[in-house]
């Protein structure tokens, strides 16, 4: 562990940190973004809120999900527009649109600036060059056989080919890939484009389907404003309003991703940090895999324990029954409400370096610390990731199975149990945010003491809130699911869970806001050495009991 390599690693990391912070740390690097977004950070599951309509309409302005039918329809509409505007055929309109990456404006602009040049570059003839019908006997330019004029065609340029050769030419090109979309006359000296009409006439079955698939794809892939959803098996695309703030988009398949880098959604952390972190993880994965692969021993009885639930509150099996935190392996009684709500598990305490070390020992220690430090953040990042996966599965299970069962057991209509779905959606979203804040924390320079403290404070608050919420939704709910009949205290449970959902949402809104403005509040408060007070928590319902916000009154 304390080899030369580790020491290099320590050095590398330093330089990486510097690079990152030298070019500003706002999300997406665009100052205008952060202002506009802070107000409506849109967590899932707050549909019942009044402020929500705003958020939704904003989301719609920001991006649009395009299904296959939508894309086709848009292509058709664009072709109609161009063909009407320029008084040309639909086939010609299609050729032009492809030439200019499906930008109606660009076609329009270029055409009226210099029609001749556009025609030449796209391969569109103004009128057919020669008519073939006057000749008695024509030689096909590919097979060199003689044909009657009726059996031979050109794409308006007069280069004659028989239908067998046309068919083979087009089919070969389609099977070679998307290049078939820009197919030209086979004559090497001729640039005339081959339109859809020719394709329709000469292809069928798989080949035709392939061509139209390429045509559909070109609409998304050629434009800077559209991208395919990267989720496996999803064939929808996202159209994004460039320069419009938050990059997080959610496809209709419910996959959330960052439009800018197409990694999974990582707000409030910027794309650079994410790509650096992912690269770092792949480089370190050999070292790290054991953490995920191995179970941990119970800190008390030392029996191996495998984590099978989403929240970090672990209880060892009887007779031990020791309750501890999965992340720090400390007693759970040191966490959360019982000790005044202070949850310090997110904080990385670098090993104290007291006494005098000789130089080599000091460097060895540094290298070891750098790996330990990375391990700290990586484990929390990875655990929140798997915790989120579990929560997503639980949410699905809840929606498909448990809600109905619960409705039966507790004699409540399903509409009255929506607060449970809300809470699970909140958990999924919070796990995602929390996960990325660990990548953020890793790259936050150690010497920025005030910022670190503030960051760890808001992160810790959010994390503690989430743990309470996750535990309540995961474990306490079980009692009511397993009950034989309606439970008397079900309404109390409802109030508690809805309250926790709301409180947690507030904590995370604060966390997101703090990170998105680069922890700037620390500066405005001066170099305070204590964790900042509630400046950033205004608007949140402080304290545990006060969490019964708008949500609970509606249930």
Partner 1 sequence: MSASSASSRKTLSKIACNRLQKELAEWQVNPPAGFKHKVTDNLQRWVIEVNGAPGTLYADETYNLQVDFPEHYPMEAPQVIFVPPAPLHPHIYSNGHICLDILYDSWSPAMTVSSVCISILSMLSSSTVKQRPEDNDRYVKNCRNGRSPKETRWWFHDDKV
Q: Of 141, 149, 158, 178, which one interacts with partner 1 (CB under 8 A)?
A: 141
The region of 87-95, 135-143, 222-230, 343-351 touching partner 1 under the rule CB under 8 A is 135-143
Q: Furthest-apart CA pair in the chain: how many Å?
A: 104
The region of 92-100, 159-167, 356-364, 391-399 touching partner 1 under the rule CB under 8 A is 159-167
User: If binding means CB under 8 A, how many residues of this protein chain bind partner 1?
Assistant: 15
CA distances from 101 to 85, 107, 118, 153, 323 (A): 18, 9, 14, 29, 60
DSSP string, 163-207: HHHHHHHHHHHHHH-GGGGG-B-SSTT--PBPPHHHHHHH--HHH
The least CB distance from residue 176 to partner 1, in Å, is 10
Contact present, 454 and 514 (Cβ < 8 Å): yes
Residue closer to partner 1 by CB (options 55, 139) is 139
The least CB distance from residue 148 to partner 1, in Å, is 18
The least CB distance from residue 356 to partner 1, in Å, is 56
The least CB distance from residue 135 to partner 1, in Å, is 18
* The two structure tokens encoding residue 325: 């935190």
Q: Of 44, 86, 142, 329, which one interacts with partner 1 (CB under 8 A)?
A: 142
Instruction: Count other Cβ atoms within 10 Å, centred on residue 339.
Output: 11
The least CB distance from residue 138 to partner 1, in Å, is 14
The region of 26-34, 80-88, 141-149, 542-550 touching partner 1 under the rule CB under 8 A is 141-149
Three-state SS for 405-428 is HHHHHCCCCHHHHHHHHHHHHHHH
Instruction: Count other Cβ atoms within 10 Å, centred on residue 406.
Output: 19
Which stretch of DSSP H or E encloses residue 162? Answer: strand 161-162
The region of 51-59, 140-148, 266-274, 417-425 touching partner 1 under the rule CB under 8 A is 140-148
Residue closer to partner 1 by CB (options 100, 211) is 211
Residue closer to partner 1 by CB (options 180, 345) is 180
Residue closer to partner 1 by CB (options 155, 427) is 155
CA distance 41 to 267: 10
Q: Of 10, 94, 118, 165, which one interacts with partner 1 (CB under 8 A)?
A: 165
The least CB distance from residue 159 to partner 1, in Å, is 7
Does residue 298 sit in helix, strand or coil? coil
CA distance 433 to 246: 14
Contact present, 284 and 378 (Cβ < 8 Å): yes
The least CB distance from residue 329 to partner 1, in Å, is 54
The least CB distance from residue 145 to partner 1, in Å, is 7
Residue closer to partner 1 by CB (options 159, 435) is 159
Contact present, 122 and 181 (Cβ < 8 Å): no
The region of 161-169, 304-312, 351-359, 452-460 touching partner 1 under the rule CB under 8 A is 161-169
Residue closer to partner 1 by CB (options 169, 322) is 169
Does residue 297 sit in helix, strand or coil? strand
Rg of the chain over Cα atoms, rounded to whole angstroms, equals 31
CA distance 174 to 199: 10
Residue closer to partner 1 by CB (options 165, 511) is 165
Query: Helix 359-397 to helix 4-22 angle, to the nearest 10 degrees?
Result: 70
Look-up: residue for tokens 């599965």? 393
User: Which residues are known to be catalytic?
Assistant: 311
Instruction: Count other Cβ atoms within 10 Å, centred on residue 211.
Output: 22
**Residue 137 engages partner 1 in binding (rule: CB under 8 A):** no
Residue closer to partner 1 by CB (options 189, 415) is 189
Q: Of 144, 224, 400, 447, which one interacts with partner 1 (CB under 8 A)?
A: 144
CA 202 to chain centre: 42
Three-state SS for 101-145 is CCCHHHHHHHHHHCHHHHHHHHCCCCCCCCCCCCCCCEECCCCCC
**Residue 543 engages partner 1 in binding (rule: CB under 8 A):** no
**Residue 145 engages partner 1 in binding (rule: CB under 8 A):** yes
**DSSP designation for 475:** I
**Residue 397 engages partner 1 in binding (rule: CB under 8 A):** no
**Residue 159 engages partner 1 in binding (rule: CB under 8 A):** yes
**Residue 532 engages partner 1 in binding (rule: CB under 8 A):** no
Q: Closest Cα partner for 155 from 170, 143, 174?
A: 170
Residue closer to partner 1 by CB (options 49, 187) is 187
The least CB distance from residue 311 to partner 1, in Å, is 52
The region of 49-57, 70-78, 167-175, 221-229 touching partner 1 under the rule CB under 8 A is 167-175
**Residue 143 engages partner 1 in binding (rule: CB under 8 A):** yes
Residue closer to partner 1 by CB (options 164, 309) is 164
The least CB distance from residue 14 to partner 1, in Å, is 38
Buried b (16+ CB within 10 A) or exposed e, 455-469: bbbbbbbbbbbbbbb
- Interface characters, 168-207, with partner 1 (x: CB under 8 A): xx--x-------------xxx-------------------
Residues forming the site for partner 1 (CB under 8 A): 141-145, 159, 161, 164-165, 168-169, 172, 186-188
């Amino acid at each position: 562990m304390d080899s030369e390599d580790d020491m290099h690693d320590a050095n590398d990391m330093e330089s990486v940190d510097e690079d990152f912070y030298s070019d500003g740390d706002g999300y997406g690097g665009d100052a205008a973004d952060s202002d506009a977004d802070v107000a409506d950070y849109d967590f899932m599951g707050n549909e019942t809120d009044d402020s929500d309509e705003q958020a939704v309409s904003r989301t719609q302005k920001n991006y649009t999900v395009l299904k296959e039918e939508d894309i086709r329809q848009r292509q058709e509409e664009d072709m109609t527009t161009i063909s009407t505007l320029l008084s040309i055929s639909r086939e010609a309109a299609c050729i032009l649109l492809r030439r200019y990456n499906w930008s109606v404006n660009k076609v329009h602009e270029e055409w009226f600036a210099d029609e001749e040049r556009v025609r030449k570059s796209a391969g569109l003839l103004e009128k057919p060059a020669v008519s073939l019908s006057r000749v008695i006997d024509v030689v096909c330019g590919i097979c060199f056989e003689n044909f009657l004029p009726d059996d031979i065609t050109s794409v308006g340029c007069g280069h004659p080919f028989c239908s067998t050769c046309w068919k083979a030419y087009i089919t070969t090109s389609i099977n070679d890939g998307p290049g078939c979309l820009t197919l030209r006359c086979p004559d090497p000296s001729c640039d005339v484009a081959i339109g859809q009409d020719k394709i329709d006439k000469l292809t069928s079955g798989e080949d035709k389907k392939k061509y139209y698939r390429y045509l559909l794809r070109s609409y998304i892939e050629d434009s800077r404003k559209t991208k395919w959803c990267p989720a496996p098996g999803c064939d929808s695309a996202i159209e994004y309003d460039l320069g419009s703030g938050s990059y997080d988009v959610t496809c209709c398949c419910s996959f959330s991703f960052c439009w800018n880098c197409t990694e999974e959604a990582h707000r409030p952390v910027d794309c650079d940090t994410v790509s650096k972190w992912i690269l770092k993880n792949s480089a370190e994965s050999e070292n790290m895999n054991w953490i995920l692969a191995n179970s941990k021993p119970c800190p008390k009885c030392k029996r191996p324990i495998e984590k099978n639930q989403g929240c970090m509150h672990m209880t060892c099996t009887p007779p031990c029954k020791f309750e501890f935190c999965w992340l720090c392996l400390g007693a759970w009684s040191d966490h959360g409400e019982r000790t005044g709500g202070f949850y310090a598990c997110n904080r990385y305490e670098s090993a104290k370096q007291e006494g005098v070390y000789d130089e080599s020992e000091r460097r060895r220690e540094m290298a070891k610390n750098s790996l330990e430090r990375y391990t700290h953040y990586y484990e929390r990042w990875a655990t929140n990731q798997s915790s989120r996966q579990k929560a997503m599965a639980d949410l699905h299970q809840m929606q498909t199975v448990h809600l109905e069962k619960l409705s039966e057991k507790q004699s409540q209509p399903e509409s009255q149990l929506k607060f449970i779905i809300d809470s699970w959606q909140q958990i999924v979203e919070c796990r995602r945010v929390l996960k990325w804040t660990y990548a953020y924390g890793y790259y936050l320079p150690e010497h920025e003491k005030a910022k670190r403290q503030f960051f760890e404070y808001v992160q810790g608050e959010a994390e503690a809130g989430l743990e309470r919420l996750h535990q309540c939704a995961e474990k306490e709910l079980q009692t009511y699911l397993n009950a034989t009949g309606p439970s008397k205290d079900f309404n109390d449970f409802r109030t508690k869970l809805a309250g926790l959902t709301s409180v947690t949402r507030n904590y995370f809104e604060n966390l997101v806001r703090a990170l998105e403005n680069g922890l700037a509040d620390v500066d405005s408060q001066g170099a305070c050495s204590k964790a900042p007070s509630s400046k950033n928590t205004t608007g949140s319902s402080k304290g545990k009991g006060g969490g019964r916000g708008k949500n609970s009154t509606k249930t």
